Amino acid sequence: MAGETDLKTLLTSLRPAVREGDYVYALWPHGKPLAGDIEAAVREAEGLTVVLSRTEADRLGLSYDFVAAWITLQVHSALEAVGLTAAVSAALTKAGISCNVLAGFHHDHLLVPSDDAGRALDVLTLLGRGLVLRDEQPEDREALLALTAEAFAISPVTGLPVDGTPIEVGALRELFDCPEYIPALSIVAELGGEIVGHVISTRGWVGELEMLGLGPISVHPHFQRQGIGSALMHESASRAEAAGEPGIALVGNPAYYGRFGYAPSHSFGVEPPHAEWGEAFQLLPLSGWPDGVRGTFRYSGPLAAL
């Protein structure tokens, strides 16, 4: 049976599955005949690279560094299919997951860091389900306010249920109508036609320097920790860079936002609007970030009032 070539069909039929165990890359000893359970091999001018289970590599006394989970895309992809490897690699890259691809006659196989196997499966599942990032439209707004209410029903600060409507809902409502609203930086994540995430960045300042303040960012509770928030963060940075913005500021957990290149704002000469925010107030400098910036960040009106 011929392999599939249509990219849309390939993506909706990925059916990623993880093989049991860990796998490694190792150099096979020069001149030694192949032995043991070798899963794949690549001959280069420098020597023979083999891929095999970690257990088998240990048994054979082979050294290795990279320990991977083996994910098979169970769709039967044609070797001449265009775009599948690029789409998969791009999705995993945006999630910060390294990926090595082995193409077989019937399937493509991905070797990702073992610790990232679960996240990689989530990203691939979302890719196959058709995650779409698009501009927010005025008719989306009530759905986005409802999404924000659900996303912040548990306080990210205290971890406890919020009494009444989360303050982020009112802030977002005002941001939609404030002068600092930037349409191209209000980004909706849609999955199968359903809105599952949203992020907004609005105008902010340090002295006379115009930059961006990001937030709120919301992902529906049922879809959290599946790569949607990461996709929104990467898309925000990409759009801001393309628009020539010098940087983005936000307040949040440094352990989370540090994965996207954010660092405490004071390391860039920028102080938070409230001193008690400390390390939680972070900044992502983009390629247009100027030298010698000093001052206190100012949010747009609705956020400044919080």
pLDDT 10s digits, 138-177: 999 999 999 999 999 988 777 788 898 999 999 999 999 9
Answer for the pair 111, 26: CB distance below 8 angstroms, yes or no.
Answer: no
CATH number of the domain enclosing 299: 3.40.630.30
Q: How large is the average pLDDT for residues 12-32? A: 92
Q: Alpha carbon 293 to chain centroid distance?
A: 29
Report the DSSP pairing between strands 108-113 and 100-103: antiparallel
Quick: pLDDT tens for 44-82: 999 999 999 999 999 999 999 999 999 999 988 777 767
Given a cut of 60, is residue 292 above it in pLDDT? yes
Each residue's pLDDT tens digit, 195-218: 999 999 999 999 999 999 999 999
Structure confidence by residue, pLDDT tens digits, 67-120: 999 999 998 877 776 778 888 887 787 667 899 999 888 899 999 999 989 888
Q: Would 2 be classed as within a structural domain?
A: no
C-alpha–C-alpha distance, residues 170 and 165, integer Å: 8
The Cα–Cα gap between 105 and 122 comes to 25
pLDDT value for 2: 67
Residue 13 pLDDT grade (very low, low, confident, very high; cuts 50, 70, 90): confident
State whether 270 and 207 are in the same domain. yes
What domain count does the chain have? 2
Residue 283 near residue 247 (C-beta atoms within 8 A): yes
The reply to whether 82 and 42 lie within a common domain is yes
Strands 16-18 and 281-285: unpaired
Q: Which of helix, strand or coil describes residue 43?
A: strand
Residues 181 and 198 grouped into a single domain: yes
Range of the structural domain that residue 115 is part of:
7-129
